């Protein structure tokens, strides 16, 4: 690349970064009202716009049933019925050699299952990748060689954004791949405990990059949980508050009274408390020997008929 092309590429990258930062500054205004005097996101405990990271989405996906369904359902519905592969004028009862070999490849590397998993992983963050393992390749960092047959495909491995980061980009404005990744760093362990920690560079030709709902570029899509993240937090707060409120009402206050002639000491008090914690009965307990009287008071049990419902 000559100096002129290098300067042009550098200017293009700088322009792209300036636009991206400008969009980010604009996005950070989400949640502000009254000329910035009220920050609704901060008051409600939401993650500030621009602050959501892959770890937020992955945490929701792993532990929130509704979030998991939002991510999984589109992929599972799409790949529930695998596509049918055929050739023009082919008799369905007599598949061609190409179709037979393709079917054998699908069965051997579990193609449709891998595509469904990659679809789900791509929905957690901004993208997912499917890495192609090739027979006879010394390293994944090398460009994928032309294949002579289906047996050259050794395996397919799926990774989400957290385990496959973009390490290098095509910055040559004269290339048809301008603005696209040229190298990924992939954690082959995928976070599996006990598997050797192996982060390797993977050439772009070995990667099928999956991203949906693209808008400003061809690499980073919109995570499926981004637009509903605040609502998921709201539901979590309501659910947690309901359980906590029930417990606070069900767990009555232990009230102790002391007779005027009591001779109890600190150990006697601790013994009374221990007895009350382990007692199934809610009736008052009179400890005549020490002069302590313990009873549960101050709260009414929750009304089971007054349960909250979500519509």
184-203: per-residue pLDDT in tens?
A: 999 988 877 777 768 999 99
Q: Given this model, what pLDDT does residue 44 score?
A: 78
Q: Given this model, what pLDDT does residue 18 score?
A: 63
Distance (Å, whole) CA 311 – CA 309 = 7
41 pLDDT band (50/70/90 cuts)?
A: confident
Distance (Å, whole) CA 61 – CA 78 = 19
Q: Region 150-154: what's the mean pLDDT?
A: 95
Distance (Å, whole) CA 266 – CA 67 = 51
Q: Given this model, what pLDDT does residue 21 score?
A: 54
> What does pTM read for this prediction?
0.71
230-245 burial code (b ≥16 CB/10 A, e <16) = beebeebeeeeeeeee
> Structural domain boundaries of the chain?
1-51, 57-229, 252-306
What whole-number percentage of the chain has pLDDT above 90? 52
Question: Which of 147, 153, 110 lies closest to 133, judged by CA?
Answer: 153
Give the CA angle between residues 64, 237, 53 to the nearest 5°.
55
Q: Given this model, what pLDDT does residue 137 score?
A: 80
Average pLDDT over the chain, rounded to an integer: 81
Distance (Å, whole) CA 76 – CA 121 = 12
What whole-number percentage of the chain has pLDDT above 70? 70
Beta strands 128-134; 153-160: pairing state: antiparallel
122-159 burial code (b ≥16 CB/10 A, e <16) = bbbbbbbbbbbebeebeebeeeeeeeeeeebbeebbbb
| Structure tokens that stand for 267 in this block | 């150990």
Distance (Å, whole) CA 178 – CA 95 = 40
Q: Given this model, what pLDDT does residue 151 score?
A: 94
Q: Given this model, what pLDDT does residue 285 score?
A: 47
* Phi/psi of residue 156, nearest 5 degrees: -130, 130
């Amino acid at each position: 690349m000559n100096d002129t092309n290098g300067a042009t590429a550098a200017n293009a990258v700088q322009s792209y970064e300036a636009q991206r930062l400008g969009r980010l500054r604009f996005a950070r205004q989400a949640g502000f009202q009254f000329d910035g005097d009220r920050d609704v996101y901060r008051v409600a405990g939401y993650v500030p716009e621009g602050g959501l990271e892959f770890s937020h989405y992955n945490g929701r996906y792993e532990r929130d049933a509704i979030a998991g369904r939002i991510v999984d359902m589109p992929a599972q519905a799409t790949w529930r019925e695998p596509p049918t592969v055929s050739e023009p004028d082919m008799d369905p009862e007599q598949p061609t050699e190409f179709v037979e070999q393709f079917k054998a490849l699908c069965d051997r590397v579990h193609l449709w299952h891998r595509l469904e998993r990659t679809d789900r992983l791509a929905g957690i963050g901004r993208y997912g990748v499917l890495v192609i393992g090739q027979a006879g390749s010394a390293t994944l960092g090398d460009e994928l060689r032309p294949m002579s047959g289906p047996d050259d495909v050794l395996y397919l491995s799926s990774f989400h954004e957290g385990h496959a980061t973009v390490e290098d980009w095509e910055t040559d404005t004269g290339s048809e791949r301008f603005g696209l990744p040229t190298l990924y760093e992939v954690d082959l362990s995928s976070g599996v405990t006990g598997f050797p920690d192996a982060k390797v560079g993977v050439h772009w030709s070995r990667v099928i990059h999956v991203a949906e709902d693209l808008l400003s570029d061809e690499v980073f899509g919109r995570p499926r949980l981004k637009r509903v993240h605040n609502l998921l937090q709201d539901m979590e707060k309501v659910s947690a508050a309901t359980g906590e409120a029930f417990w606070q009402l069900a767990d009555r206050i232990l009230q102790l009274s002391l007779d005027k002639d009591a001779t109890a000491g600190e150990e006697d008090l601790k013994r009374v408390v221990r007895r009350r914690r382990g007692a199934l009965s809610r009736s008052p307990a009179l400890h005549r020997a020490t002069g302590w009287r313990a009873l549960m008071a101050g709260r009414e049990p929750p009304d089971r008929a007054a349960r909250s419902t979500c519509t």
